[in-house]
Structure 1
Amino acid sequence: MIRQAQSNDKESIVTMIGEGMLWRTEEIVDIVEKATVFIWEENDQLIGCGTYDLNSSGEDGTAEIYVYTRPDHRKRGIGSRLFDQLWLDLQQHEEKPRAVMATYRVDHGQGADFFAKRGFASIWGHHLMKYTGEIGPAPTLDVRKFSESDMDMYIQSQSDAYYEVRKGIDLQPYRLADYPEKTMNAWKSWLLGEMREDIYLFEHEGVFVGSLIITGHGEVYDVFVDPVHQGKGYGKELVRFFVNQTLEKGLQPYLVTGTHNESAIALYERTGFQTFQTTTTAKRDFA
């Protein structure tokens, strides 16, 4: 039967979602704590779950949903019933979304067919990649931490670096610097607050060439080389720095990159990363 999750279900829900998605436990806990969650229960056992969150997607007016059924209970209509319950609840919500996004694995399972039948169209995909090698040579670039005085340069350079990739998948605005003022202010606050100590800037002979963010749990993101300096091998140096820093802390380096970003994937594979999970995010209008 379907019922809304209670606080004492949280541990079981986190474990179940972790069986299907290679997300960090802390990430799953955050999803479960913020979302509205429905579960399918049989004989006091959790068989499946569905979640929705009206605020997690990063797009105003867009809800994010997730549906999972344990493999040995699939093809019984459980996922369909959970999806219908999520949709009904959203229709009755006082803050109805304009659109809904769903993320699912495409390296196994039937997620693509399931959501396509419900009107969702893929908008982008991601590879979860993990490093499988050892510590390598130290990079030759100069490295320093991010400061507030770097803000304008950092945003401009990252906007230029990601322009072609974002345009290729029609992710608007194509330039990050063109986000609305509210979004830009939130981004700047995040950079100067939560992320400030994790942002590294790379220079060659005093000239900025690229940047990345290294988290405390072994992930790297927002990796970019300024377009003016691309094609000089600096990307490999940035990745090498991340790998060495992370391995020295006893952590396994990993990252998430877009399936459309072929040049980045090739770079990561050349530096010892392998793909462990591929997901797609799909979207449809809410009606």
Structure 2
Amino acid sequence: MIRNLKERDLGTVVAMLQKEVQWRPVELAAILKSATVFLCEEQGEIVACSLYDLTSFGEEGTAEMYVYTRPEQRKKGIGSRLFDLVWTQLLAHEQKPTAVVATYRIDEGDAGGFFAKKGFAPLWGQHTMKYTGGMVPEPTLAVKPFAEQELPCYIQSQSDAYYEVRKSIDLKPYRLTDYCEQTMDSWQKWLLTEMKDDIYMFYEEQGEFVGSLIVTPHGEAYDVFVDPKHQKKGYGKQLARFFINRTLEKGLQPYLVTGTHNKPAIALYEGTGFRITQTMLTAKRALL
């Protein structure tokens, strides 16, 4: 039986999805609450789910979807039924998108083959990397908490730092500063409210800004970047070491997500003691 998600199902579905993807329960719950979700239930047990969201991807006109079936229930056509249901809903939606993206795990299972048969073409991949070592040398760079007046510098420097990587995978806009006004407003609000106390700014002895990262309360590093003017000086490793020590001090295991295409970053993190534990792929198909 296929039915909609109900409030009482939330914990069960989060626990099911956690066995597949290394995302925190609160992140999974937030995704489920904001999306339209369908469940497949057999003999009173939830065995699969699919969902779509018209706003979560951040690219106007592009919807985001997920399909997951428990390993022991695969090869029975359940995933295809759920996919077809989501696709039909999107085709008939009042705010019909022009494209759909799907994100799925590719280091195990055959989700890649499933979505390839559905006409999805790969966009980019992401590695989850975890650190299992001990404390490391502290950075020699000056480290300061983020201040609101530094927001323009922070945004411009991050935009410059990510430009080449975004361009290499054709992720538009190539410059973060070219996002539409609504997206920029949401990003700045997020930085100044939810993330403000977790952003760290790094400076050379002369006081010139070098780079930044966000150290989250749950042990993850977000938005790690070094300004292009200061790249290839070993500063990225200093930022990573700062993150490791602050996270270990909290009794947490440091982890982060980086693009599979970002070979320099992968090499940097591996050289600092991180190891790849999961690989996801995001793929896209036009909605005809």
Q: Same fold (TM over 0.5)?
A: yes
What SS is found at the alignment partner of 2:81?
Answer: helix
**In structure 1, what is the Cα distance between the partners aligned to 2:190 and 2:34?**
19
Which amino acid counterpart does residue 3 of structure 2 have in structure 1? Answer: R
**In structure 2, what is the Cα distance between the partners aligned to 1:163 and 1:4?**
40
Give ranges in structure 2 of 5+ residues lacking alignment.
none
Alpha-carbon offset, residue 93 of structure 1: 2.2
What SS is found at the alignment partner of 1:136?
Answer: coil
1:258 — aligned with what?
A: 259
What SS is found at the alignment partner of 1:283?
Answer: strand
Asked if residue 121 in structure 1 is aligned to residue 105 in structure 2, the reply is no
What SS is found at the alignment partner of 1:86?
Answer: helix
Per mean C-alpha deviation after superposition, the further-off stretch among 113-122 and 244-253 is 113-122
2:11 — aligned with what?
A: 11
**In structure 1, what is the Cα distance between the partners aligned to 2:26 and 2:251?**
19
**In structure 1, what is the Cα distance between the partners aligned to 2:88 and 2:159?**
39
Asked if residue 33 in structure 1 is aligned to residue 33 in structure 2, the reply is yes
**In structure 1, what is the Cα distance between the partners aligned to 2:92 and 2:166?**
34
- Alignment deviations for residues 208-260 of structure 1 (CA, whole Å, 9 cap, x no partner): 11100111111001111111111111111000000000000011100000000
TM-score (norm 1): 0.97
Question: What is the aligned length?
Answer: 287
**In structure 2, what is the Cα distance between the partners aligned to 1:131 and 1:259?**
17
Which amino acid counterpart does residue 14 of structure 2 have in structure 1? Answer: V
Alpha-carbon offset, residue 280 of structure 1: 0.3
1:135 — aligned with what?
A: 135
2:194 — aligned with what?
A: 194
Per mean C-alpha deviation after superposition, the further-off stretch among 29-38 and 237-246 is 29-38
Partners of 2:58 and 2:183 within 8 A in 1: no
Give ranges in structure 1 of 5+ residues lacking alignment.
none
2:204 — aligned with what?
A: 204
**In structure 1, what is the Cα distance between the partners aligned to 2:233 and 2:97?**
45
**In structure 1, what is the Cα distance between the partners aligned to 2:162 and 2:112?**
27
2:248 — aligned with what?
A: 247
The correspondence of residues 94-173 of structure 1 with structure 2, limited to 5 A, is 94-173=94-173
Partners of 2:161 and 2:227 within 8 A in 1: yes
**In structure 2, what is the Cα distance between the partners aligned to 1:90 and 1:183?**
23
Percent of residue pairs bearing the same amino acid type: 62
Alpha-carbon offset, residue 182 of structure 1: 2.3
CA RMSD of aligned residues (A): 1.1
TM-score (norm 2): 0.97
**In structure 2, what is the Cα distance between the partners aligned to 1:74 and 1:233?**
46
What SS is found at the alignment partner of 1:216?
Answer: coil
What SS is found at the alignment partner of 1:125?
Answer: strand
**In structure 1, what is the Cα distance between the partners aligned to 2:52 and 2:87?**
9
What SS is found at the alignment partner of 1:101?
Answer: strand
Structure 1 runs of 4+ off > 3 angstroms?
Answer: none
Alpha-carbon offset, residue 70 of structure 1: 0.7
- Alignment deviations for residues 164-209 of structure 1 (CA, whole Å, 9 cap, x no partner): 1111101111111122222222222221121111110001111111
**In structure 2, what is the Cα distance between the partners aligned to 1:182 and 1:38?**
30
What SS is found at the alignment partner of 2:183?
Answer: helix
Which amino acid counterpart does residue 124 of structure 2 have in structure 1? Answer: W
